[in-house]
Amino acid sequence: MSPRTAWRLIWLLCALPLADLLGRILSQQLGANPQEAILRQTGLWSLTLLLVTLGVTPFRQWLRWPELISLRRMLGLWAFGYACIHLLAFWAFEHDFDLAAVASDALKRPFVTVGLLSFFLMLPMALTSNAGAMRRMGRGWKRLHRAIYAIALLACVHFFLHRAGKSNFIDPAIASAIVLILLGSRIYFRR
């Protein structure tokens, strides 16, 4: 498979959950609590794509397939896109687009604080995910984009804290274990 074909295929795979969600919204098939379903799905897909993005480098090294690196930027931007929809849905459904209410909520509920922190750390990475920014920033670009590990850990904490109210820790534990394995593999390959 050519790199261009792989890129198109992965792009379509990343778009499928969003297309499915939009289809279920239009056909009113999101269950008894559609707002919760939208928040849950967009958050889960953002975290999933963040983990896949983190996995590109180790899999490229393990498989000795250097072309995989060309997919990392696209995957990261899709993760950010789902995070944007997740945050927008939270802002709309939970706070009727009131920024003061979001700020107040962030002071009261730790999972909101951690989620917002994770999003705002993703923002500069998304804004600098282009060739021009890479050239202008030089080595600073790599340092900035290493924040993905902190972002992934914060996203796992956000997920864990959200699920704490429901006493359901299996999915957050799996996501956290994946982040730690990927971080360990990065340390291993650097040595």
> Structural domains in the chain?
3-190 (1.20.120)
Mean pLDDT on 77-87: 98
Residue with tokens 């995070």, as numbered in its chain: 83
- Taking every pair of Cα atoms in the chain, the longest distance, rounded to a whole number of angstroms, is 52
Task: Using the predicted structure, report yes or no on whether residue 2 has a pLDDT greater than 90.
Answer: no
Task: Using the predicted structure, report yes or no on whether residue 84 has a pLDDT greater than 70.
Answer: yes
| Angle made by CA atoms 142, 14, 68, in degrees to the nearest 5 | 45
Is 35:89 a contact under the CB 8 Å cutoff? yes
Cα→Cα distances 163→58, 101, 115, Å? 29, 22, 13
Task: Record the pTM.
Answer: 0.93
pLDDT confidence bin for 1, thresholds 50/70/90: low
Residue with tokens 């849905």, as numbered in its chain: 89
pLDDT value at residue 46 = 98
Distance between CA atoms of 149 and 49, rounded to whole angstroms? 13
- 163 vs 116 pLDDT, higher one: 116
pLDDT value at residue 35 = 95
- DSSP strand E in 80-175: where? none
Going 15 to 80 to 177 to 147, the CA torsion angle's sign is positive
